[in-house]
Structure 1
Amino acid sequence: MNALIKSATVVDSKSDFHNETVDILIEKGRIAKISKRISNPNNYREIKLDNLHVSQGWFDSSVSFGEPGFEERETIDNGLKTASKSGFTAVALNANSFPVIDSYADISFVKSKASNHATQLLPIGALTKESKGIDLAELYDMSNAGAVAFYDYQKPISNPNLAKIAMQYAGNFNGLICSFPQENKITGTGVVNEHVNSTKLGLKGNPNLAEDLQVARDLFLLEYTEGKLHIPTISTAKSVDLIRQAKAKKLDVSCSVAIHNLIYTDDVLSDFDTNFKVLPPLRTKNDCNALIEGLKDGTIDMVTADHNPIDIEDKKVEFDYAKYGTIGLESSFGALQTIFTTKKAIGLLTQGKSRFGVDENTINVGNDAELTLFNPDVNYQFSVSNILSKSKNSAFIGQDLKGMAYGIVANKKIVLL
């Protein structure tokens, strides 16, 4: 793949050309030259776009597509096309399919389905067989097949001894254990944040305590096992404090936060819009502020769309019975820029790579071309027309956003909107 990117402003603090507006010559999928002006004698494809900016490829650590088993929600093929056009050069795929991705063969299957796409798919294997929380899955075999982590998507590990054994066992091959931060015995049948709004709306509450207890437990187990732990999608101020303390102890822990938990509070639930039914639930302004501060000081390692397509039959029902989840790949960048600067937003979309074994290809001559192309200054209201996913369950419909991806150059391919 050969191409010439014209007049692009580089946003990459590790690049020699950070903040410069340059031309980028790509030959055979690698960056061959970066300069103020590059001629095109070989008649390569030229990429010229309005207010073009370019960064390292973006990464999302928690994406669901549905296939195999729930293709009506999303397929791997269309999911990866959506990721590409949304600016993501790599995504980690959750195991919440049917059958659950819990074996060498399952990991090999999803990797084969993704083999010809520009966006790299990184499979996350289930932590337990069929994600039932009883017996460990084939962690080592899945690791050999290419699994980058192990996680029963949005299902807590209720047995602390199982969590302990998982951390100890995975430590033998540097495996990353993910533990969903919720204590189900505290949550009960709660569907929204337990606070004033849950009482007003007559909906059962899921208290902060349910998350805080599980995070504290997992951090104690991590300290005991000296393992490697990732806590996905935290949502409470106390979780941020607990993880900050754990990092001060030099424990090998990372965590993420879903972008919708930064943007919205449970105040948006007044209309019972099931697109806002997510897990963990939307919480209070105090929690949002603590999460944002955690991102600023490095306590929280990465953001995620926690992209979870749900078909209309499972969303257009009473709030209590609707499935949890929102899509978010298409809105990630524009939503983040309503809170952070462009530089910070790009940092948040790229800094989780190393934790999941993704190469960081800086924008320098000789490196593989793994680039996201975007316009950081366009303002628009997100609508159904902006959704590329098969399912349309977006919490961001009607939200004013700033910034939009044009697409990516990666894996010797070019994918643009």
Structure 2
Amino acid sequence: MNALIKSATIVDSKSDFHNETVDILIERGRITKISKRISNPNNYKEIKLDNLHVSQGWFDSSVSFGEPGFEDRETIDNGLKTAAYAGFTSVALNANSNPIIDSFADITFVAAKARNNAVSLYPIGALTQASNSTDLAELYDMNNAGAVAFYDYQKPVSNPNLMKIAMQYASNFDGLVMSFPQESKISGLGVVNEHINSTKLGLKGNPALAEELQVARDLFLLEYTEGKLHIPTISTAKSVELIREAKAKKLDVTCSVAIHNLVLTDDNLDGFDTRYKVLPPLRTQNDCEALIEGLKDGTIDMVTSDHNPIDIEHKKVEFDHAKYGTIGLESAFGALQTVFTTKKSIALLTQGKSRFGITETTISEGEEANLSLFNPDAKYQFSKADITSKSKNSAFLGMQLTGETYGIIANNKIVLK
């Protein structure tokens, strides 16, 4: 693949050309020249786009595509196209399928489905067999097949001894254990944040305490085992505080936050719209502010879209019976820019790769082209026309967003909208 990108502003603090507007020559998938003006004697494909900005490729640490088993929600092929259009060059795929991805063969299957794609797919294997929180899955075998972490997607491991053993066992091969932050006996049948709005709306509450107890438990286990832990999608102010304290003690812990938990609150629930039924639930404005501060000071390591396509039959039902989840890839950049500057948004979208064993790149001559292309200043109202996913369950429909994505250049391929 050969291409010449014209008049692009580079947003990459590690690049010598950071904040400069330049031409970028790509030959056979590698950046061969960056300069103020580059001619095109070989008649390569030229990429000229309005207010074009480029950064190193974005990474999402938590996406679900449904396949195998839930292809009606999303397929791997269309999911990767959605990720590319949304500016992501790499995604970590949750074991949120039927059957659950919990073996060497399962990891091999999803990796093969994504082979030769512009977007790199990194499978996450289930932590326990069938994600049933009873017996550990084939962690070492899945690691050998290419699994980058182990996680029962949105299913807490209730047995602390099982989590302890998982951390101890995975440390033998530097495996990354992930633990969903929810204590199920405390959360009970709660479907929204336990606070003023849950009482006002008559919906069962899921208290912040349920998350914080599980985070505290897992951090104690981590300290005991000296293992390696990633806590996905935290949502409360106290969770940020607990992880900040753990990092001060030099524990090997990282965490992420879903973008919708930064931007939306339980005030959005007034209309009983099931698009806002997510897990962990939307919390309060105070929690949002603490999460944003946690990202600013480095306590929270990365953001995620927590992209989870759900078919209409499981969303257009009574709130109590609707499935949890929102799609988030298409809106990730625009929503993030409602609370952060472009510079900070790009930094957040490119963080987290090393935690999952993914090589980081920079925009420099001689480097492989792994680029996200976007216009940071475009303002628009997010609508179904902006959705590439098969499922349309977006919590951001109708919201004013800032920042349009054009696509990616990665793995010696160009994918543009």
Q: TM-score range by the shorter chain?
A: over 0.9
- 1:261 and 2:265 correspond: no
Within a 5 Å distance, the mapping from 1:182-261 to structure 2 comes to 182-261=182-261
Deviation at 1:76, TM superposition (A): 0.1
Gaps of 5+ in 1: none
Within a 5 Å distance, the mapping from 1:50-199 to structure 2 comes to 50-199=50-199
SS of the counterpart of 1:363? Answer: coil
In 1, Cα distance between equivalents of 2:285 and 2:338: 16
In 2, Cα distance between equivalents of 1:357 and 1:388: 28
SS of the counterpart of 2:65? Answer: coil
Alpha-carbon displacement from aligned partner over 1:290-324 (angstroms, at most 9, x marks no partner): 00000000000000000000000000000000000
SS of the counterpart of 2:256? Answer: strand
Code of the residue aligned with 1:139 in structure 2: it is: L
In 1, Cα distance between equivalents of 2:117 and 2:395: 27
In 2, Cα distance between equivalents of 1:81 and 1:154: 24
SS of the counterpart of 1:66? Answer: coil
Q: What's 1:296 paired with?
A: 296
SS of the counterpart of 2:33? Answer: strand
Alpha-carbon displacement from aligned partner over 1:82-128 (angstroms, at most 9, x marks no partner): 00010000000000100000000000000000002100000000000
Give the share of equivalent positions with the same residue, in percent.
81
Deviation at 1:361, TM superposition (A): 1.1
Alpha-carbon displacement from aligned partner over 1:159-212 (angstroms, at most 9, x marks no partner): 000000000000000000000000000000000000010001000000000000
**Normalised TM-score (structure 2):** 1.00
Code of the residue aligned with 1:277 in structure 2: it is: K
Q: What's 2:325 paired with?
A: 325
In 2, Cα distance between equivalents of 1:332 and 1:155: 24
Alpha-carbon displacement from aligned partner over 1:14-40 (angstroms, at most 9, x marks no partner): 001000000000011100000000000
In 2, Cα distance between equivalents of 1:116 and 1:382: 31
In 1, Cα distance between equivalents of 2:46 and 2:105: 41
SS of the counterpart of 2:15? Answer: coil
In 2, Cα distance between equivalents of 1:264 and 1:98: 30
Code of the residue aligned with 1:314 in structure 2: it is: H
In 2, Cα distance between equivalents of 1:376 and 1:307: 21
Deviation at 1:404, TM superposition (A): 1.1
Code of the residue aligned with 1:311 in structure 2: it is: D
- 1:279 and 2:306 correspond: no
The count of residues paired between Structure 1 and Structure 2 equals 417
Code of the residue aligned with 1:198 in structure 2: it is: S
In 1, Cα distance between equivalents of 2:361 and 2:243: 29
Q: What's 1:414 paired with?
A: 414
In 2, Cα distance between equivalents of 1:356 and 1:244: 21
Code of the residue aligned with 2:138 in structure 1: it is: E
In 2, Cα distance between equivalents of 1:404 and 1:355: 28
In 2, Cα distance between equivalents of 1:314 and 1:343: 37
- 1:26 and 2:26 correspond: yes
Deviation at 1:358, TM superposition (A): 1.2
In 1, Cα distance between equivalents of 2:4 and 2:359: 23
Structure 1 segments (4+ residues) deviating >2 Å: none
Q: What's 1:345 paired with?
A: 345
Q: What's 2:398 paired with?
A: 398
Alpha-carbon displacement from aligned partner over 1:259-279 (angstroms, at most 9, x marks no partner): 000001100101000000000
Alignment RMSD (CA, Å): 0.4
In 2, Cα distance between equivalents of 1:172 and 1:276: 40
SS of the counterpart of 2:90? Answer: strand
In 2, Cα distance between equivalents of 1:116 and 1:72: 23
Deviation at 1:288, TM superposition (A): 0.4
